[in-house]
Structure 1
């Protein structure tokens, strides 16, 4: 089973619904929300998402220190859903943080976690080239983040029209080879 899963897709592709469905068999579910509520429309979106998720989730708002929040929330047998990487990238750019350094810290942290983590991110590189420098920077940073997280993840899923497509499959656990002593014991 995968420990870290990256779920990619476009806006309204069904990626969040798919990511949330991966949590159904876990009792301890934590939702790390990266969105900063800056206006009434964003508040309505957040409230709608919470209602759709239903009960059984602990929600933590984490606009910047994602690696720290993951370390704090990590529990063996637990499930953490990060929604979403592209909003986190936006926050880092807005607050003038070093995106590359934060991304490296996130990838290093993912390698050390004990529980199950699902990261949701938008694939923003399938459209036209943005017409301004800030939008191009965002697209580039998001693309680099998705590539780095795909390497760090055990499994990568792309969702289009609500249909999940596996891009990277988790490797099954390695089977232990019997030692020479155990082979001799079986021969008898």
Structure 2
């Protein structure tokens, strides 16, 4: 089976591209590891609703920060959208934004578990993530922590993926054969 990591900046078209990589006429499990939309953030609720509406009929959504368990439980191809919200959810759940060491340990452990499953996925899996070098992130301690940890997650997932794509302004670059940097 094929695993693909799709990277891109905010509103780059990465989720749209990721959706096209999976069967349109079959069941697909969509794992959304971020917080559920609430009335407190209507913009987020609108984005989530737009993503759901754009997905083919028959695709099911599982909102869970436990991406590894979600992949293990799925019996269909999987779309994980998005690893950036997954990293945020891990840090949020532990209240670890002010404890770099704890946040790093939690995300590292979760990433090791994800990579072990990802490398041997029994069906097609696509993960979407923000390419942290292309995203606007506040240059605060929390912002730098997020960038560092998500950058590490992206590198590790990419290293065991069959394909890695970068989406910029709706254009797709296949980075699968590009050499890995230390």
Whether these two folds match at TM > 0.5 is yes
Q: Which TM-score bucket, shorter chain as reference?
A: 0.7 to 0.9
1:164 corresponds to which residue? 172
Question: Deviating runs (4+, > 6 A) in structure 1?
Answer: none
Verify: 1:131 aligned to 2:139, yes or no.
yes
How many residues align? The count is: 164
- Residue 38 of structure 1 and its aligned partner are, at CA, apart by 4.8
- Residue 25 of structure 1 and its aligned partner are, at CA, apart by 4.9
Q: What is the alpha-carbon distance in structure 1 between the residues aligned to residue 91 and residue 84 of structure 2?
A: 11
- Residue 52 of structure 1 and its aligned partner are, at CA, apart by 1.7
2:30 corresponds to which residue? 31
Cα gap change, 1:160 to 1:104, in 2 (>3 Å): same
1:87 corresponds to which residue? 85
Q: What is the alpha-carbon distance in structure 2 between the residues aligned to residue 118 and residue 48 of structure 1?
A: 19
Q: What is the alpha-carbon distance in structure 2 between the residues aligned to residue 137 and residue 165 of structure 1?
A: 27
Q: What is the alpha-carbon distance in structure 2 between the residues aligned to residue 163 and residue 112 of structure 1?
A: 29
Q: What is the alpha-carbon distance in structure 2 between the residues aligned to residue 87 and residue 129 of structure 1?
A: 13
Q: What is the alpha-carbon distance in structure 2 between the residues aligned to residue 13 and residue 126 of structure 1?
A: 10
SS in 1 for 2:79: strand
Q: Mark the runs of 5 or more structure 1 residues left unpaired by the alignment.
A: 170-188
1:177 corresponds to which residue? none
Cα gap change, 1:15 to 1:128, in 2 (>3 Å): closer
Cα gap change, 1:56 to 1:13, in 2 (>3 Å): same
1:16 corresponds to which residue? 15
Q: What is the alpha-carbon distance in structure 2 between the residues aligned to residue 86 and residue 58 of structure 1?
A: 21
Q: What is the alpha-carbon distance in structure 1 between the residues aligned to residue 49 and residue 156 of structure 2?
A: 31
Q: Contact between 1:26 and 1:79, CA under 8 Å: does it hold in 2?
A: no
1:150 corresponds to which residue? 158
Q: Contact between 2:13 and 2:169, CA under 8 Å: does it hold in 1?
A: yes
Q: What is the alpha-carbon distance in structure 2 between the residues aligned to residue 127 and residue 167 of structure 1?
A: 19
Q: What is the alpha-carbon distance in structure 2 between the residues aligned to residue 117 and residue 133 of structure 1?
A: 33
The structure number with the bigger radius of gyration is 1
2:46 corresponds to which residue? 44
